[in-house]
Structure 1
Amino acid sequence: MTFGLQAALLLGVQLVLSPAAPTIPSNFFYRDYLNGHGDKGTGFSGVKLQVDSAQPTVFSVRGGNATVPCRFWREPESSSPRRVRVKWSWRPAAGGHETDVLVAVGSRSRGFGAFRGRVQLRREFPGDATLLMTDLLLNDTGSYRCEVVDGLEDRSTSVYLELRGVVFPYQHPGGHYHLSFPAAQQACEEQDSTLATFPQLLRSWKEGLNWCNAGWLADGTVQYPITRPRAPCGGSGHAPGVRSYGRRHLHLHRFDVFCFSSSLQGKVYYLQSSKMNLTDAQQACQEDGAQVAKVGQLYAAWKLTGLDHCDAGWLADGSVRYPISSPRRNCGPPEPGVHSFGFPPPQHKHGVYCYKSGDR
Structure 2
Amino acid sequence: MRIARPLLVLLHVVLETRALRYSNGYYYQTIENSKGNGEIYFNGVRLHVESPQMSVSAIQGSNVTLPCHYRYEPELSAPRRTRVKWFWQPATGEGREKDVMVALGSRHRSYGGFRGRVRLRRSVPGDASLVINPLQVDDTGRYRCEIIDGLEDESVTVELEFRGVVFPYYSPRGRYQLTYQEAKEACEQQGACLATFQQLFAAYEEGLDWCNAGWLADGTAQYPVSVPREACGGKELAPGVRSYGLRHKTLDQFDAFCFTSSIRGEVYFLEHPLKLNFTEAVEVCMQDGAHIAKVGELYAAWKFVGLDQCNAGWLADGSVRYPITRPRPNCGPPDPGVRSFGFLPHHLKYGVYCHKVR
Question: Counterpart in 1 of 2:51?
Answer: 53
Question: Counterpart in 2 of 1:349?
Answer: 349
* Mapped contact 1:49–1:153 kept (Cα < 8 A): no
Partner Cα separation in structure 2 for residue 119 and residue 249 of structure 1: 38
Partner Cα separation in structure 1 for residue 134 and residue 92 of structure 2: 21
TM-score after normalising by structure 1: 0.85
Question: Counterpart in 2 of 1:324?
Answer: 324
Shift of 1:9: 5.6
Q: Report sequence identity in percent.
A: 58
* Mapped contact 1:291–1:356 kept (Cα < 8 A): yes
Query: Structure 1 residues 75, 250: CA separation in 2 closer, same or farther (over 3 Å shift)?
Result: farther
Shift of 1:101: 1.0
Residue 89 of structure 1, aligned match among 80, 87, 90? 87
Question: Counterpart in 2 of 1:261?
Answer: 260
Residue 306 (1) aligns with residue 306 (2): yes
- Give the RMSD, CA atoms, in angstroms: 2.1
Question: Counterpart in 1 of 2:286?
Answer: 286
Shift of 1:175: 1.0
* Mapped contact 1:263–1:304 kept (Cα < 8 A): no
Partner Cα separation in structure 2 for residue 119 and residue 81 of structure 1: 24
Partner Cα separation in structure 1 for residue 181 and residue 250 of structure 2: 7
Partner Cα separation in structure 1 for residue 22 and residue 183 of structure 2: 43
* Length, aligned pairs only: 328
* Mapped contact 1:42–1:151 kept (Cα < 8 A): no
Partner Cα separation in structure 1 for residue 28 and residue 105 of structure 2: 20
Residue 171 (1) aligns with residue 170 (2): yes
- Residue ranges of structure 2 left out of the alignment (5+ in a row): 1-20, 34-41
* Mapped contact 2:59–2:263 kept (Cα < 8 A): no
* Mapped contact 2:191–2:295 kept (Cα < 8 A): yes
Partner Cα separation in structure 2 for residue 7 and residue 336 of structure 1: 58
Aligned partner of 2:82: which letter? V
Residue 108 (1) aligns with residue 107 (2): yes
* Mapped contact 1:195–1:217 kept (Cα < 8 A): yes
SS of match in other structure, 2:84 = strand
Partner Cα separation in structure 2 for residue 196 and residue 342 of structure 1: 21
* 1:54-203 matches, cutoff 5 A: 54-79=52-77, 81-97=79-95, 98-203=97-202
Aligned partner of 1:61: which letter? I
Shift of 1:48: 3.5
Partner Cα separation in structure 2 for residue 102 and residue 243 of structure 1: 40
Shift of 1:208: 1.1
TM-superposition CA deviations, 1:161-195 (whole Å, max 9, x none): 22222111111111111111211121111111122
Partner Cα separation in structure 2 for residue 314 and residue 56 of structure 1: 42
SS of match in other structure, 1:123 = coil
Query: Structure 1 residues 316, 8: CA separation in 2 closer, same or farther (over 3 Å shift)?
Result: same
Higher strand share: 2
SS of match in other structure, 2:186 = helix
* Mapped contact 2:84–2:148 kept (Cα < 8 A): yes
* Mapped contact 2:228–2:239 kept (Cα < 8 A): yes
Question: Counterpart in 2 of 1:337?
Answer: 337
* Mapped contact 1:42–1:150 kept (Cα < 8 A): no
Shift of 1:324: 1.0
SS of match in other structure, 1:245 = strand
* Mapped contact 2:22–2:28 kept (Cα < 8 A): no
TM-superposition CA deviations, 1:326-356 (whole Å, max 9, x none): 1111111111111111111112222211222
Shift of 1:297: 0.9
Shift of 1:79: 4.3
Shift of 1:106: 3.0
Question: Counterpart in 2 of 1:236?
Answer: 235
* Mapped contact 1:195–1:257 kept (Cα < 8 A): yes
Query: Structure 1 residues 341, 151: CA separation in 2 closer, same or farther (over 3 Å shift)?
Result: same
Partner Cα separation in structure 2 for residue 90 and residue 236 of structure 1: 44
Partner Cα separation in structure 1 for residue 94 and residue 166 of structure 2: 22
